[in-house]
Amino acid sequence: MDVRVLEAAVDPVAVFREWLEEAEASEPNDANAAALATAAPDGSPSVRMVLVKQVDARGFCFYTNARSRKGRELAGNPRAALCFHWKSLRRQVRVEGPVVELPGEDADAYFHSRERESQLGSAVSQQSRPLENREALERMVAEFAALHPGEVPRPEWWRGYAVRPERVELWVSGEHRLHDRFLFVREGNGWVKTRLFP
């Protein structure tokens, strides 16, 4: 990307959308994958990969088990950070902000858009808790599938969340590690942009 385009940009989320579209054509898989960092109330951090399923006025949206470690951490400390890295494009986007829960209708719609096997797996998974062995998990899936031959009910704890961007950093790899970094900080309805040292 021509850095002059970044220098002229006023909306980092609009740039993100353009970059994501390019990444969907160049990355081998899951261009919407991002590292999601959360922290416990005592400040202990943890990070894992999630799929960001949409970016809209509410923020960067993803879905997960609210009883998982990340779900529990978000309940106790509703702030998070995301990092997208597209190696093929040599670009990175960092997003930080408060997290809000999406309406149940959104979780229903996305849950039922997934293939049945994924719905079944999500419905029985006690995410982040100890599992005796794989056979136990497969047995749970089979039993739940037999109980629900039709539509799979979305578990109440399977929810959607949105990271509302307050800080967005756009990074482009440069020769000799002279990278281009632009930090956008939310101010009112707009953004204040600062170029950062690499």
Residues forming the active site: 177
Helices (H) and strands (E) in the chain, counts: 6, 10
Q: Distance between terminal CA atoms of the chain?
A: 17
Angle between helices 104-113 and 116-124 (to 10 degrees): 130
Question: Contact, 173 vs 91, CB < 8 A?
Answer: yes
Angle between helices 134-147 and 116-124 (to 10 degrees): 110
